[in-house]
Amino acid sequence: MKDEGRKISLERAKELKDSISDYLEYRDTVATGFKEWEKIKARQENIKRILGASQEDWQNWKWQLRNRIDDPDTLAKIINLSSEEKEEISLAGSKFRWAVVPYYLSLINPDDPGDPVRLQSIPTAKEYFDQCGDMDPMDEEFSSPAPAITRRYPDRLIINVTNQCSSYCRHCQRRRNIGEVDKQTPRRDIEAALHYIAQNEEIRDVLLTGGDSLMLPEGTLDWILTELDNIPHVEIKRLGSRVPVSLPYRVTDELCKMLSSHLPLYVNTHFNHPLEVTPDAREACLKLTKSGIILGNQAVLLKGINNDPLLMKKLNHELLKIMVLPYLIFHAKSVRGTSHFRTRVEDGIEIMEKLRGYTSGLAVPTYVINAPHGYGKTPMFPEYLVSMGRNKLLIRTWEKRVLEYENDEEA
* Domains of the chain (ranges, CATH numbers): 37-114 (no CATH), 140-379 (3.20.20.70), 384-411 (no CATH)
DSSP H/E element including 236: strand 236-240
- pLDDT higher than 70, residue 320: yes
List pLDDT tens digits, range 136-164.
666 677 789 999 999 999 999 999 999 99
| Cβ–Cβ under 8 Å, residues 329 and 340 | no
Confidence of residue 411 (pLDDT cuts 50, 70, 90): very low
Beta-sheet strands, E only, within 261-365:
265-269, 294-301, 325-331
* pLDDT value at residue 90: 95
Closest residue by Cα to residue 248 from 36, 114, 106, 98: 106
Closest residue by Cα to residue 370 from 309, 311, 313, 298: 298
Closest residue by Cα to residue 302 from 178, 169, 129, 212: 169
List pLDDT tens digits, range 211-257.
899 999 999 999 999 999 999 999 999 999 999 999 999 999 999 99
* pLDDT value at residue 137: 67
292 or 134, which is more confident?
292
Local structure of 321: helix, strand or coil:
helix
- pLDDT higher than 90, residue 1: no
